[in-house]
Amino acid sequence: MTPSRPFHRRFGLHTRVSLGVAAVVLAATVAIAMVALQLVRGSLRASITGEQFARVSSIATGVDQKFGSRRILLQTFVDSVEAQNFQDGRPLQAFLERHKSLRLAFDNVAFLDLDGNLVANLSNASQVGTINIRDRAYFQQTVQSGLGLISRPYRNRLNGLAQIAITEPVLDAQGKVRFVISGAINLKDRNILGDLADVRFGKTGYLFILTADGVVVDHPDAARILNRLPTENGANPEIRRAIAGFEGTSEGIDESGVRGLFAFQRTDQTNWIVGAMYPSDEAFARIDAIERVALGGGLVAALLAGALALGFVRRRLTPLAALHGRMQSAQDPAAGVPEPPASYAQDEIGELARSFDQLMAQQRASEQLLARSEAQVRTIADNIPALVSHVDAALRYTFVNAHVKAMHDDGELVGRPMPEARGAEDFAVVAPYYERALRGETVIIEKAGNPARGVGDRTYKAHYIPDRDTEGVVRGVFAMTFDITDEVNVRKALTEQERRLRDVTNSIPALVGYFDREENCLFANSRARRLADLFDGPLAGVSLRSSLGDAVYAQIRPHLPSVLAGKNAHFPVDAPIQGSDGHFQTHLISDINLEGEVLGFYLMAFNITALKEAELRAAESELRLRAITNSMPALITYIDREERITFANATSHEWLGLGPAQVEGRHLEEVAGREVYLSRRPMLARALAGEKVEFEARTQRAGYDRVTQVIYVPDTRSDGSTHGIFSLALDITALKLVERQLIELARIDTLTGLPNRLAFNEFLPDAVLRGRITGHSLAVMFLDIDRFKAINDTLGHAVGDAVLAEYARRLKACVRASDMAARLAGDEFVLVIENLKQREAVAAVASKIVAQINHPAFRVDGQRIEVATSIGIAFHGPAESAVTAAELLARADAALYAAKAAGRNRYAFFVPGEGSQGKAAFPQTPPSFLEPPEGEG
């Protein structure tokens, strides 16, 4: 009887196939897009953080240079004061006012006596004698140590501005501190930190500066300046790391809860922390938009593919839907027997429908025969003088004959566990035999009757037979107990048993036969007789070959020697069934007696034609999967645990020069080459251990250099074991090329086309090293445009930008192609001239630059603009002591201030003194305007 099925809505096969196609297309599209976008996001993040850190480092270097040059200038001024040997503070005011050029570097310069009293003041002489700064820590430290320093930031008591002070002691002839010179600097001066307010990272990103203990030096929020940031509870974790000494880039959340990219760099002169915050939403805005577009495109592609597949599959599966309807009707007894169609389609579905109708006819006949057989078995089982029962693997009764029921007072036993039905004491006697039978052993024992049941004088023979399924798994136990007290009853019981076993074998869905050692057939069930056209005739003279035919016998013959030697065999056999191809799973089982002799063998064959057809359909599904993967722009392979490639898509032909058929079955080392294999073996081991592995690799074939992103995904089964690796390789060569181009663009000043500060900072140390190796002299020129701020303020930034571009063009025209000309920031430019023999050559170049900038006048948008330049020169000869790149640049910067102090529109050389910083910078005018510098002609 067919069990009733609850009515429920379900999708048809064509709809499921269409949804499957759409899902595969969507998954493949989204997977490729997301992998590519993640690679782009990672590369973009590295590029953004690299540029961010470079900008922060450049700003930190600029701050160091500004403070360094001012310290050198103040030290030079101290040398001049000590040379005058002032005995008291009265002449200091006049001396200080004669050096008004100090205003270019400081907001104010003051002389203080050892009590902290103001004795001279550059900004306001009326304050002399009215101010005392004895309580300032920087004053006390300078007096105590006798060394100059840069103070911590503080707030000016008169104007409330955030300032720092650079101090230098003035020593008397005995080397004791006589005065302290203090140079005050307003931190918001555009020549110091004021221009940092214009620095932006995105739209809302910002730059900030902290002291090493967390005091804010500069911040877009002016209320935070000179206040200490919290460093414990509630503090920004990234700020805490920077205060603890971290330098570099990181990602975190600021005090307002905004996630962003952070960069930190410390200054050398003040040990300040220069930091920058770039909001992540702004940094990755474009890639987020691309992700949304990619997901939308994948969804549209999947919907289109699903719609096309739905139309095509619905049309092709219409006959199959009709067959499905007949199959459902055939399974419903109330619907009656469905009538077969008058004709069948000439295709696979038509053949399937014809085979189904034939099978249904056979099934109806088999069901009728089985019903008669079951009735006969029940009649036989109830009438033989034996106790017959069957239990499943859980020792629950599934069948009992009438004798068993009568022994238990006709109680209902089917469905009850044996211990409950028989009682614990009775079950304990037979339990060991059932356990052996469930392990696959046929148990035959003789035992005395149970006196409690009045049969203590009887002797019984019990058989416990394992009930195996088609896979050989024991699913229950047949139990038959015979009273063998009377030999007649024994023979009768044996006869009835043989008849029952024949009925059972005739009912099972398999071909069953028994053959002796000479391959003569001694037994065949009804199915085997019908196949061999023997029906109920005698089996005398029937052999294995004659019953099966030459073709089938040839397939079985190789296994006969092992079966006759006592070893069972299992193998497939192909045989025709009603004019079509059929497939059978065949079992040859040795018949071994108690002495271990092989008397013959059983042959059991199960029809597995439907299973084979299912395998063919699975192969067709694999072809569809291969068609999909072949259309993907990536190399997809499957690598088993022996590191052999068992699957490859069509991309292998383009990338490896080998088609999938040439790759599959070969070891990875044989396909990729030993060098590539050895480089990837550690990643293969990690993936085979169950870890997902991603890495970049560079390969070259047929002259093409390819960069790939390789992903190894372990094929982990439900039991946790890894059976192989899914390998996906994406070509990211074009992405790497764009990355290299972005790195190059980061080193060019976009306004002038000259190298920027980053490129200059990389070039100058190498130039210094080349000079030491070759023994040639080197010169560094620091240049800026005189009164450039006035050009910007009066004519506008657009005109200022045009002046900078023309200045750069003329500067480049004055030097050799091998010389390095760069723009540091604003109107600050530098020149590095190598392979020099004497200072005169540098003076000639500087003179030429001053002349070229002066004449002809600049013309921007029809306006005539007079432009002049000042130049500071640091000349380094091969015989001089070794200096660093930073020291050379600081010397050139100090010389530039000296040139400006001397009247601008000229150049000046830095002349080293006995100390490490040199004594003074002597301004020089071009030879065409004033006298040549000392030591020149």
893 is catalytic: no
What whole-number distance in Å separates Cα of residue 871 and Cα of residue 895?
A: 8
**φ/ψ (deg, to 5) at 711:** -125, 125
Per DSSP, what are the bridge partners of residue 716? 722
Amino acid of residue 501 = L
Residue 459 bridge partners (DSSP): 448
DSSP 771-834: HHHHT-EEEEEEEEETTHHHHHHHH-HHHHHHHHHHHHHHHHHTS-TTSEEEEEETTEEEEEEE
In Å, what is the CA distance from 491 to each residue of 379, 458, 461, 498, 575? Answer: 19, 16, 12, 11, 40
CA atoms within 13 A on the CB side of 913: 12
3-state secondary structure of 907: strand
| Coil, helix or strand at residue 577 | strand
CA end-to-end distance (rounded Å), the chain: 124
Residue 481 φ then ψ, to 5°: -120, 125
Q: Who's near 528: CB < 8 A, 6+ residues apart?
A: 511, 512, 513, 534, 547
- E-strand spans in 484-546? 511-516, 521-524
Which residue type does 137 have?
A: A
Q: Which burial class, exposed, middle or buried, applies to 616 when counting CB atoms under 10 A from its CB (0-12, 13-18, 19+)?
A: exposed
Burial class of residue 39 in the structure, from the number of CB atoms within 10 Å of its CB (0-12 exposed, 13-18 middle, 19+ buried): middle
Long-range contact set of residues 736-743: C-beta below 8 Å, sequence gap at least 24: 736/707, 739/43, 739/47, 742/47, 743/47, 743/50
What would you report as the CA-atom Rg of the chain, rounded to the nearest whole angstrom? 50
Least Cα distance to 277 among 250, 237, 247, 246 occurs for 250
Q: What is the helix, strand, coil percentage profile of the chain, to 5?
A: 45, 25, 30
Q: Which helix (H) or strand (E) holds 326?
A: helix 318-331
Q: Strand 162-171 relative to strand 177-186: parallel, antiparallel, unpaired?
A: antiparallel
Examine residue 856 and say whether the peptide bond preceding it is cis (omega within 30 degrees of 0).
yes
CA atoms in the 13 A half-sphere facing the CB of 533: 4
DSSP H or E segment with residue 588: strand 580-592
Tell the residue number behind the tokens 């090493």, with chain if given: 212
If DSSP codes are grouped into helix, strand and coil, which group holds residue 62?
helix
The β-bridge relationship of strands 259-266 and 443-448 is unpaired
Query: Among 263, 254, 258, 138, which Cα is nearest to 199's?
Result: 263
Of 64, 357, 827, 893, the active-site residue reads 827
Beta bridge partners, 168, equal 181
> Which one, of 92, 46, 62, lies nearest residue 760 by Cα?
62
Spatial distance between the Cα atoms of 575 and 586, rounded to a whole number of angstroms: 11
Give the burial string for 794-811 (b: 16+ CB within 10 Å, else e): ebeeebbebbbebbbebb
Name the residues annotated as catalytic. 827
